[in-house]
Amino acid sequence: MSDACPAWNARSVGDCGSPGTVQVLPFEEARGHRRLHGARRRVRWVSCWFDDPCHAYLTGCRFQQYSEVDVRVTYCVISIASLFGILTDDLKAGVVDYVLSCQTYEGGFGGEPGNEAHGGYAFCAVATLYILEAVNQIRDLPALLHWLANRQMPFEGGYQGRTNKLVDGCYSFWQGALPALLADVVRERYGDEVPYQCHQEQLQKYILLCGQEISGGLRDKPGKPRDHYHSCYCLSGLSVAQHGDGRGEPVVFGDSSNLVARTHPAYNIGYGKATKAIEYFKAKGPFQPE
């Protein structure tokens, strides 16, 4: 795959999904998470990308040139830049205000200002604020917590992505990571006695009892086929459900063999690997754009 990737985009240093297609930011994020070391030169492209198709309106970002603007790509840019030590003031300019403007009347976040609150967009928004150390600037934290709590279904234990939708295993991470990202500001505002904002055992029950295919892999819900996407995010959700915000011992439903490694709630890569990458590039000194 490493040999194939450069051939997939001969015109620039960004990554794309298949040979001959244009570079798209989520593919750059995926490859960047996979190959952290020796990549700082490559991801200078991200800075150029932000200066060109990003900073569109209200400093949101685009997937690719002339495409839509929303918080998914804003998250991809901020995530990559923070991991590789290229998170300059120019890159951060206006991003927090744009993300905050995507909070809806329900309390969650949509992809753009005025959109419906949605679990995937809410993750991208809150994770971006977390990376930028701006979670405490969320305009209506009580509404966000109320919306989030009501997305975890009392019977199934798993999360739905939007109001009046069915539970989906992938939201075990997209929604399930939010309590970990919000934990510090919740304690700061309401005190240490406030419980963690997720029923960790119930979420694990849904993943382990309803999300697993008997022959391997994980899925959206019973009756749906297994696939790589849901296998990834169900396992990631299992990790955040067990490790929470990292304070204290993991909460594990069932046998101790169910325990999985801790993933970083903002980057969804191994917690130790994420912090190691950030420290590695931080030690190289401030990023100097070419």
Domain ranges of the chain: 1-138, 152-259
Q: Above 60 in pLDDT, residue 81?
A: yes
Model pLDDT, residue 286: 82
Report the length, in residues, of the chain. Answer: 290
> In 3D, which of 280, 263, 281 has the Cα closest to residue 271?
263
> Distance between CA 114 and CA 159 in Å, rounded?
23
The model's pLDDT over 169-202, given as tens digits with 9 standing for 90+, comes to: 999 999 999 999 999 999 999 999 999 999 999 9
pLDDT recorded at residue 26: 53
Average pLDDT over residues 146-162: 98
CA 130 to chain centroid, in Å, comes to 10
pLDDT at 245: 93
pTM of model > 0.95:
no
Reported as a single tens digit per residue, the pLDDT across 95-138 is: 999 999 999 999 999 999 999 999 999 999 999 999 999 999 99
212-224 confidence digits (pLDDT tens): 999 999 999 999 9
Summary mean pLDDT of the chain: 85
What pLDDT sits at residue 36?
Answer: 57
Whether the predicted pLDDT of 64 surpasses 80? no
What is the C-alpha to C-alpha distance for residues 290 and 288, in angstroms, rounded to an integer? 6
Q: How far apart are CA 264 and CA 246, in angstroms?
A: 10
Average pLDDT over residues 237-257: 96
- For residue 90, what pLDDT is reported? 85
Q: Can you tell me the distance from the alpha carbon of 265 to that of 240, in angstroms, rounded to the nearest whole number?
A: 7
- Per cent of the chain over pLDDT 70 is 76
* CATH-assigned architecture of domain 1-138: Alpha/alpha barrel (1.50)
Q: Catalytic amino acids?
A: 118, 162, 165, 168, 170-171, 220, 227, 230
The angle, 0 to 180 degrees and rounded to 10, between the axes of the packed helices 44-51 and 71-83 is 150
Q: Looking at residue 57, what is its pLDDT?
A: 42
Position 32 confidence tier, pLDDT thresholds 50, 70, 90: low
What phi-psi label fits residue 216: left (phi over 0), alpha (psi between -120 and 50 degrees) or beta? Answer: left
**Token output for 86:** 């290229």
Asked whether 269 and 80 are in contact (CB, 8 A), the reply is no
| Spatial CB neighbours of 290, under 8 Å, sequence gap ≥ 6 | 44
pLDDT value for 9? 47
Which residues pair with residue 159 across a beta bridge? 152
Residue scoring higher pLDDT (64 or 72): 72
